[in-house]
Structure 1
């Protein structure tokens, strides 16, 4: 008699194209996963995958079995999740992201969500580790680290503008934009000049020859410093909109912007969770 767990292991191996990765995703040992596959192949009567030293590839029979099983397994898992969540008064989801984006954009998008949200802040590599180690259900990141079983969706493109205190005079001659920028005190997110370095590379085709006057690893803190007249910086449109309207900050050199792509990262296996999908839908809203 076929064990249902053999089917789940087969689906996982098919998706990950790796016994070891499938074992990790199912929190099983690799020998246990291999035993499930061997038992299912014995029942079917032929191999479901061809194996080489580098990869595992489904056979034609494996492809046929997957096409029949996958919709049934996903429906069953979705139903199980719905039953489980229905008895919880307030399901919880853990989100990892930079605090700047989450505070301004994430909270606004999730304000009508029925879920409890636990937020963990971090930079791209930290966020990927959170997701990989199940310390976050979904991450918001500007970098995509490729790994089987993890997917990304583009949320939006953030545009960074040269932002200066409202009382500061802008460049008189835009032909000398670089000289004007180099003459100012810069406030940076880090000593390596993230985003600022990209502005120079994309618009001046070289590295910036400047040292930051202040390093503040918080975009909201940088905005406050610009408003106080401490210096200038590159800041995203969503963060400075209100300050521009209030007249505490203004943007100059409009053609010297930098675009940054922001992605949602999550494990493929969670897509069938209706509450997880609710969060994805909310965060993907404009």
Structure 2
């Protein structure tokens, strides 16, 4: 699971362009800053900077990564500032585990109105389930049920899944009339996936073709938003929640190449440990989310 302090350190290095200035900005030692950067690069498996004697130059992936975390980090800093300004009032506190997709599209605009202290941790579903089990977080928002742990699951909502591809990809007309050939053609294309289990691709394939896919995704990315952004600028296919790509579809930067007769859904859940000292805080958070959702529906 990604440590938030690693991201803050990476952001400071990116903006300061060297370890010394970043350490001053963060009030850390230079070895501490270097350790955070090394831990983040090791975790994501990518080099973020090219090192010279005088400064650090971000790699292309480093530039992309900074663009993805900049706004979420700023949003979290606003939450921290808001909390620190009102310390006199007793408030409930909770640690939430979720994907960056959920935070950026669902949670970020809501939590400022929540009258409680909130710490957010990011990671993939397996990492977050383990964090929940070890009580690093008290509540998890995810799409998978990890039955190896003694966790309770509460339904949050359904999300519609759609197939997307780059705008410059055209499926040959003759293939659309020949399902077997269409399947073979699709399986040869470049695919982006959320994880190795490919649950989203499997759901689409089962609904559209009533069979299992034989696909080895070329790229496994940490979030659906990363998949959407990558497909905007590179050739490929992916299966993503429709609400996450609605803006890109409206702007014609990606497209839906195939329709399905029956909408494909995945469920999103809350999960928490059954034996939990934070059940009161969990219920407060859920209530705040419900109020926020209800208010949004009323405005529309």
TM-score (norm 2): 0.57
> Where does residue 204 of structure 1 map in the other structure?
209
* Structure (1 or 2) with the larger CA radius of gyration: 1
Contact 1:184–1:231 (8 Å) recurs in 2: yes
Partner of 1:245: 250
The one-character-per-residue Cα deviations of 1:26-57 (angstroms, maximum 9, x if unpaired) are: xxxxxxxxxxxxxxxxxxxxxxxxxxxxxxxx
Looking at structure 2, the residues matched to 143 and 277 of structure 1 have their Cα atoms a distance apart, in angstroms, of 21
The one-character-per-residue Cα deviations of 1:225-251 (angstroms, maximum 9, x if unpaired) are: 111132111111121011111111121
Q: Is 1:120 aligned to residue 115 of structure 2? A: no
In structure 1, C-alpha distance between the alignment counterparts of 2:214 and 2:134, rounded to whole Å: 39
Structure 2 counterparts to residues 16-31 of structure 1, below 5 A? none
Q: 1:264 maps to which residue?
A: 270
Deviation at 1:87?
A: 5.8
User: Within 5 A, what are the aligned runs for 1:23-102?
Assistant: 88-102=89-103
- 5+ long unaligned stretches in structure 1: 1-85
User: Contact between 1:110 and 1:279, CA under 8 Å: does it hold in 2?
Assistant: no
Distance 1:134 1:224 in 2: 33
C-alpha contact 2:132 2:272 (8 A) present in aligned 1: yes
**CA distance change for structure 1 residues 137 and 215 in 2, over 3 Å: closer, same or farther?**
closer
| Aligned equivalent of 1:103 | 104
Distance 1:99 1:148, change over 3 A: closer
In the alignment, what sits opposite 1:184?
Answer: 189
Q: Is the 8 A contact 2:159 2:267 kept in 1?
A: yes
| Matching residue of 1:74 | none
TM-score when normalising by structure 1: 0.60
Match of 2:160 in 1: 159
Query: Equivalences for 1:133-172 in 2 at 5 Å?
Result: 133-146=134-147, 150-170=151-171, 172=173
Residue aligning to 1:216: 221
How far off its partner does 1:197 sit?
2.8
Whether the 8 Å contact between 2:140 and 2:272 is mirrored in structure 1 is: yes
Q: CA RMSD in A?
A: 3.1
Which residue is 2:287 aligned to? 281
Q: Which residue in the other structure is 1:236 paired with? A: 241
**SS of corresponding position for 2:108:** helix
Deviation of 1:271 after TM superposition, in Å, equals 7.2
- Answer whether contact 1:155 1:283 (CA < 8 A) is retained: no
Deviations along 1:185-240, whole A, 9 cap, x unmatched?
21222344342133224433433223223332322211111111321111111210
State whether residues 207 and 260 of structure 2, in contact with CA within 8 Å, keep that contact through their aligned partners in structure 1: no
1:193 is aligned to 2:198:
yes
Q: Is the 8 A contact 2:143 2:269 kept in 1?
A: yes
Per-residue CA deviations over 1:60-111 (Å, capped at 9, x if unaligned) read xxxxxxxxxxxxxxxxxxxxxxxxxx96455431001122222222223434
Q: Give secondary structure in 2 for the equivalent of 1:162.
A: strand
Distance 1:192 1:174, change over 3 A: farther
Q: Secondary structure at the match of 1:94?
A: strand
- Greater CA deviation, 167-176 or 110-119? 167-176
Aligned residues: 201
Q: Distance in 2 between matches of 1:147 and 1:215?
A: 24
Q: Does the C-alpha gap of structure 1 residues 192 and 147 become closer, same or farther in structure 2, counting only changes over 3 Å?
A: closer
CA distance in 2, matches of 1:126, 1:237: 25
How many angstroms does 1:159 deviate by?
1.5
